[in-house]
Every structure is written in structure tokens, then in C-alpha cells.
Amino acid sequence: MFEIIRWPSEMAPSRSPIHFTNEIEVAVLPETIWALLTNPNAWPRFYPGVEHVRLLDGHQTFGPGTRFETNLAGQDVSASVQEFEPQTRIAWGGHPKGAEESKAYHAWIITPTANGCHLWTEETMQGPHWIELAKQAADAFWLTHEKLLSDLAHAALTLEGKRS
């Protein structure tokens, strides 16, 4: 499967010391994955370590340019949606509130398959804060995203089971 992330030039993998990809096949409709990813109230059910997501500027769901605050990777983060194609792709970029020089860009692509959908997520990270965390556990970010995909798939399967 060929996936293309539309990287902001400054966050391209070739410019980022931390870059990883994760993917999973899920036997659910792409719309189910999309509904979970774009609902801030759903994130604590599947996003490891997330306790809250607060959308800013009066938004109720994620959309193009939506600014938000959350706690990702144990960090209070400010971010905004930078890519948004309903049912297909969403990406956000941001930084820890206490380390604005450390940036991250996290993209998702949802592709329909014969049995549901293929979910691809890819992230780049830059800056001293992320580099120090990576030094402590080189595969921690990748492993967290593996759990994220597994938990998201479980939440989606549960949600579709409730709809049936």
C-alpha cells in the first residue's frame, strides 16, 4: 500500500531526527475510524495517556485549522489540525507547552479495503525535548503508537458492534 503524507517542509522526515510509521488493518468502516479520530471526547478511550482534549476557538469537533490542547506522551501539548480530508486523512502539528522549540507532526491516512480499512499513521519529531525522551527509550514513541493503533481498532470494533 502506498501512502503519502503531505509534510510541511520543515517537518519532513529528512529533516527530523525522530520519524516512525505504524499501520494496521481493521475490519471496520473508514467512517468509524474517522468518527473516533475527529471526536475529542473519544480520544481518552484509545489514545495512550490522553486524559483530555480541549478544542479552542469554540470548535466541537476537529476540522481544518482547529487548534487544541491535550496531554500526549505525558506532555501538555498545543497543536492544530493542518491537514483535513473527511474520511481519508487528518494531520496535526504542535509542540509541548513547556518546550515550543520541540515540534511534532502526526498524520493519519485511512484507506478503504475489501474487509474494512487500512490505517496508516506517521510522525516526525524535532527538538531537544523529544530527543531527550527518545534517548531514554529509543522505541517508546513507536511502541506507544502500536498501542494507539491497537486500542483505536478495538474502540472502532466495539463502536461498530454497538451499531449492529
CATH number assigned to the domain comprising residue 24? 3.30.530.20
Residues in CB range of 60: below 8 A, 6 or more apart = none
pLDDT digits (tens, 9 = 90+) for 119-153: 999 999 999 999 998 999 889 899 999 999 999 99
Residue 1 is assigned to a structural domain of this protein:
no
What values do phi and psi take at 101, rounded to 5?
A: -75, -10
Residue 4 scores a pLDDT above 90: no
C-alpha cell at 81: 489540525
* Alpha helices, DSSP H, located in the chain: 30-37, 43-46, 128-136, 140-163
What pTM does this model have? 0.93
In contact, 156 and 163? CB cutoff 8 Å: no
Rounded CA gap, 5 and 111, in Å? 13
> How many structural domains does the chain have?
1
Residue 1: its pLDDT value, please?
45
Rounded CA gap, 96 and 39, in Å? 21
Can you give the residue range of the structural domain that contains 148? Answer: 18-163
Residue 2 is assigned to a structural domain of this protein:
no
Residue 8 is assigned to a structural domain of this protein:
no
- Residue reference for cell 525535548: 129
